[in-house]
Structure 1
């Protein structure tokens, strides 16, 4: 039977990343905490209760002994993420080396060091690449990863749960969809640039359904997972609990920018055909397919509600984006 506890000492791997930076700031702002920020490149520790730990590229052999001293909760963010143009000789082997073996290595050392809880940041890609309308992914769905990244995350999940059963260390797994917020890059940033330019966009007739999660909402759930009695041994899906089509998302971005947006109602099949001709079929899929999650189990089990409404979080994201122009 798991019980709630009040952890004060944390190790965050991948602390220099998009989520890691926000999470370490959040944890470091709590009274009485100590946060070890682990990353390959040096990051400034902005509070006296935060210390930096330099790690290397070989996560599967990294010695975590010093970083784990006295740590009650590990939050494992470090990973090889989805790569658009992968130059590795064997992408699958690279994903397994870092995401599977690297996760096993830090988890076994954490268990040996007496760490009580280990939170693994996985990915919705473990569930699959898309959903059918009206059939969102559920927390208890069978895994269906489609690419080496998703497969590696699923294999890591299974290995970590096994370590938890073997050692008694509490394992919590979180599977986020697309995460957005101040400083977001990649596709979300590209969408903001298109809206900012005011160019006509061909998505007026697209009625897909996509789930996303604001950075602040995700950090809030991670923090809750560090102490909640019902979290260990479970896999949680997460989102803003407000699903949108690509057209609705673009309108929300335009609203945040106080700009007019012109969405042309071009049939999705025609967009896909044109994208295929241009060699952009994967980009079209990310924009047009549905990818929806049902977080009712997360809300019920952890008594959690996303603290920030989607439009509010988008407004913050847009404001940050514009301020850096």
Structure 2
């Protein structure tokens, strides 16, 4: 089976390359901007991702496309019109690739989306499922939703097998963003006022997400479906900090400040969005992946955190 992977140099893409390279029944081609950027035997140089990208040198003869490339979520986007740029890359670029994949006879298109399509928060005991009406709140989430919808329409019209995967926050070795910040803060041993946070958040270990993607490459029941991805074990922010500290072998100093007081203070300081990520809940239900694909996350949260901080600090 021949597979084309976009986003091969990204956080998820690099782990996919490691998993797919050298397998006897897989022939992987990595779409890259610069040769040698990732340890992939077969490369295809693609310099941009938009409506005008020519994929002819990469797409021919492929059976499956795993589309992990995207304009990623940017916390402080300084563009005058961020949504336009997200649409250029994540919507127009994705559709252009999908159309050329169809013309080249690609059988299955696996799109790595985001839980942000569902929204930013859930209420207690009411996790997101694949059937929830999309409610993205930022330009990145909107672009991912629009790409999903356009792909679904295209796949329905043409008959290509489309699989959409929406991961929650992905953590693992060399993770960046919020997880990297958390590891750094825990490593400093500073006291944190997060000892009484009773929210619930779903995360997904890098190895679990990669395993789900690999499962979707040729599982017959995956065609035409959307799957949410998580570890299946939800943690409060307090529990997550404790887990990170345990994995690092570092002491943790948590002060039990009520969440309401923290939110009030963060709002006064103009940090409400950050506080919502720390104090709010975002849970997903992965029952569909379990039932339809018979998939189980192979890595526990404890194992995932150990792998993440062990390599990150090694």
Q: TM bucket by the smaller chain?
A: over 0.9
Q: Note if 1:315 corresponds to 2:279.
A: no
Aligned match of 1:179: 170
1:39 positional shift: 2.5
1:45 positional shift: 5.0
Aligned match of 1:108: 99
Cα deviation code 1:210-268 (max 9, x no counterpart): 00000000000001001001001111001000000000001111110112212111011
Q: Which runs of 4+ in 1 moved over 3 A?
A: 41-47
Give the alignment's Cα RMSD to 1 decimal.
1.2
Where in structure 2 are the equivalents of 1:36-185 lying within 5 Å? 36-44=29-37, 46=39, 50-185=41-176
1:32 positional shift: 3.6
Where in structure 2 are the equivalents of 1:234-245 lying within 5 Å? 234-245=225-236
Aligned match of 1:4: none
Cα separation, 2, equivalents of 1:226 and 1:35: 12
Contact 1:45–1:51 (CA under 8 A) maintained in structure 2: no
Gaps of 5+ in 2: none
Aligned match of 1:21: 14
Cα deviation code 1:257-280 (max 9, x no counterpart): 112212111011221222223332
Gaps of 5+ in 1: 1-7
Cα separation, 2, equivalents of 1:89 and 1:43: 34
1:91 positional shift: 0.8
Contact 2:32–2:45 (CA under 8 A) maintained in structure 1: yes
Cα separation, 2, equivalents of 1:26 and 1:243: 26
Aligned match of 2:290: 299
Contact 1:16–1:41 (CA under 8 A) maintained in structure 2: no
Aligned match of 2:220: 229
